[in-house]
Chain A
Amino acid sequence: GQQVMQIPQYQHVQEGEDFTTYCNSSTTLSNIQWYKQRPGGHPVFLIQLVKSGEVKKQKRLTFQFGEAKKNSSLHITATQTTDVGTYFCAGARKTSYDKVIFGPGTSLSVIP
């Protein structure tokens, strides 16, 4: 079946450093979403990427969708303590339009 992988599993950064998490799918995706879950909270939608090679920015966050629509990345510039949480990518399969597959997530800790 389809698998979505993310690396790294954990990342500890000093406040002000950059952070990147990578997401890879074993199959071509119709779209990919990114979610953030704060400790003790629930997943919150960040963004959706649909087009091959798409790049979207939200303030200090940059999201990319690979040309083959099988991988994606999230880059945070100059991390802040408010960025702490687990970042999940979630890919929708081309053959199934009712579900997405969540990656295992990258847990980000920011040391002030």
Chain B
Amino acid sequence: DTEVTQTPKHLVMGMTNKKSLKCEQHMGHRAMYWYKQKAKKPPELMFVYSYEKLSINESVPSRFSPECPNSSLLNLHLHALQPEDSALYLCASSQWGAGGLGHEQYFGPGTRLTVT
């Protein structure tokens, strides 16, 4: 199984809502990532979990809160978002962290988020 799954596929939320994005992988990968991607732009790293511990937070606003309940699951909790947060949110996993073989990232299909 080389698949990363993400739910939901699409999400529309108001600025006062609280919602969560979910990501799951069963490849035994020990690093998991959240990226944000705007149209015609590259993926922009938000968070990295390595061995279920948060290892990188790219100065993401606190209205985005990541959680890694176990090695297969990654959540992104959303609260009080702004319209400019509308984007494709991609989850990815890799066997290990960066550096050396095994770093290739497997991306999920993403959640298309619209904040109204």
Residues of A within 8 A of B (CB): 30-31, 33, 35, 41-45, 48, 50, 88, 90, 92-94, 96-100, 102-105, 107
Q: How far is the CB of B15 from chain A (nearest CB, A)?
A: 27
Mark B18-36 against chain A: 1 for CB-CB distance below 8 A, else 0.
0000000000000100000
Q: Measured between alpha carbons, how far is A107 from B41 in the docked complex, in Å?
A: 10
Q: In the complex, what residues of A have CB within 8 A of residue B98's CB?
A: 30-31, 92-93, 96-100
Asked if B42 and A33 make an inter-chain contact with CB atoms under 8 angstroms apart, the answer reads: no
Residues of B within 8 A of A (CB): 31, 40-45, 48, 50, 55-56, 90, 92, 97-101, 103-110
Q: In the complex, what residues of B have CB within 8 A of residue A107's CB?
A: 40
Asked if B107 and A44 make an inter-chain contact with CB atoms under 8 angstroms apart, the answer reads: yes
Q: In the complex, what residues of A have CB within 8 A of residue B31's CB?
A: 98
Q: In the complex, what residues of B have CB within 8 A of residue A92's CB?
A: 98-99, 103
